[in-house]
């Protein structure tokens, strides 16, 4: 029910808010910084694969969770696979674009950007450890913050909108689905609020772990987070998690996609798909909060694309520097593309 609600409601409207994209440097790891991916051809497999991992947490926390999975992938497909950890989501996208990343775990928003600019193609999505096909976005605050009780009683989304001018607020990353796009729609766009102008202070912390720690240490009043990330924080820093109060929860968000570059050899892509579709090792998947992967295709994330189109339309409509005739033409083009996307479902 919640998942259907997300698909239905999210396609209607989204916040007019942008953030400049920055090229991300990979986390300090000599094996990553010196790593190159062999040139691919339609008939020969590369000598090595690189698996990109978005920065929902620090590399120190992510590496022990992901390395056993990466090792299993390498063994199954018969080619060395190296993990690629970055400090920002855009690092994985740019890595795919410049053919330094071959396969990646992405969020919905970062995937559609990778599909558009880096020739990425989703072929699977991750199931939760309970077999669910999605997760949730949250607004969080510190339990000891004076706003906590009232915000929870009123509803965190309503409280934040009504009291924004007195609050500091942190998003995760501009390419994050649960840490940016979804709360932007449900909390702000639905109430015709521009967070760039509404808050006493607004910033991007860079990851779910960073927003969680900022709230736990009272460095920000309210921040975005996700259900998965809070479980991770409970494992990596239980004392910090105890200080966090969830004051708003979104409808269910479609699970994270797994994507590879389209230009990989077909035979290799088949090996990669077979690995993900059949891998069930609980001891390796449990630290990733997963029970396995399910086959899918690119269309699963069209709802996220609709949100992006709606965002572009709102930005264009609010732009006072474009001449009316030019604005009308560009808006007509965007609306035509949006309708074509909806018709393709």
Where do the domains of the chain lie?
Answer: 30-132+255-300, 137-250, 303-343
- Ranking 69-83, 156-170, 192-206, 262-276 by mean pLDDT, the lowest is 192-206
**Fold equal for 30-132+255-300 and 137-250:** yes
Residue 44 pLDDT grade (very low, low, confident, very high; cuts 50, 70, 90): confident
Look at residue 23 in the predicted model and tell me its pLDDT: 33
pTM: 0.71
- Report residue 75 as tokens: 């063994």
In CATH terms, the fold of domain 137-250 is D-Maltodextrin-Binding Protein; domain 2 (3.40.190)
Q: What is the CATH number of domain 30-132+255-300?
A: 3.40.190.10
Q: Cα–Cα distance between 260 and 321 in angstroms, integer?
A: 39
Look at residue 55 in the predicted model and tell me its pLDDT: 86
Q: Cα–Cα distance between 171 and 228 in angstroms, integer?
A: 16
Rounded mean pLDDT, 15-31: 37
Query: Which pLDDT tens digit goes with each residue over 135-166?
Result: 899 999 999 999 999 999 999 999 999 999 99
Judged by DSSP in three states, 117 sits in helix
Phi, then psi, of 131 in degrees rounded to 5: 80, 10
Phi, then psi, of 7 in degrees rounded to 5: -65, -40
């Amino acid at each position: 029910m919640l998942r259907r609600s997300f698909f239905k409601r999210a396609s209607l409207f989204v916040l007019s808010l942008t953030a400049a994209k920055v090229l991300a440097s990979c986390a300090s790891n000599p094996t990553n910084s010196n790593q190159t991916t062999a040139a691919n051809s339609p008939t020969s497999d590369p000598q090595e694969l690189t698996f990109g991992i978005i920065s929902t947490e620090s590399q120190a926390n992510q590496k022990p969770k992901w390395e056993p999975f990466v090792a299993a992938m390498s063994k199954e497909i018969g080619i060395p696979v190296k993990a690629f950890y970055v400090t920002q989501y855009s690092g994985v996208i740019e890595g795919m674009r410049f053919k330094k990343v071959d396969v990646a775990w992405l969020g919905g928003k970062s995937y559609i950007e990778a599909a558009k600019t880096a020739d990425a193609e989703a072929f699977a999505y991750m199931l939760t450890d309970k077999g669910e096909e999605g997760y949730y976005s949250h607004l969080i605050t510190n339990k000891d913050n004076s706003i906590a009780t009232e915000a929870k009683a009123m509803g965190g989304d309503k409280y934040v909108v009504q009291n924004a001018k007195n609050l500091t607020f942190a998003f995760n990353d501009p390419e994050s689905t649960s840490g940016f796009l979804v709360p932007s729609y449900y909390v702000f766009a639905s109430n015709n609020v521009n967070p760039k102008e509404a808050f006493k202070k607004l910033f991007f912390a860079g990851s779910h772990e960073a927003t969680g720690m900022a709230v736990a240490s009272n460095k920000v009043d309210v921040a975005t987070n996700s259900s998965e990330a809070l479980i991770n924080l409970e494992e990596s820093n239980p004392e910090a998690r105890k200080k966090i109060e969830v004051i708003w929860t979104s409808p269910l968000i479609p699970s994270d996609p797994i994507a590879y570059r389209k230009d990989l050899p077909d035979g290799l892509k088949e090996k990669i798909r077979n690995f993900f579709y059949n891998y069930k090792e609980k001891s390796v998947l449990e630290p990733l909060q997963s029970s396995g992967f399910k086959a899918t295709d690119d269309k699963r994330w069209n709802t996220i694309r609709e949100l992006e189109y709606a965002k572009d339309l709102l930005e264009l409509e609010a732009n006072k520097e474009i001449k009316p005739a030019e604005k009308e033409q560009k808006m007509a083009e965007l609306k035509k593309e949006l309708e074509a996307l909806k018709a393709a479902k």
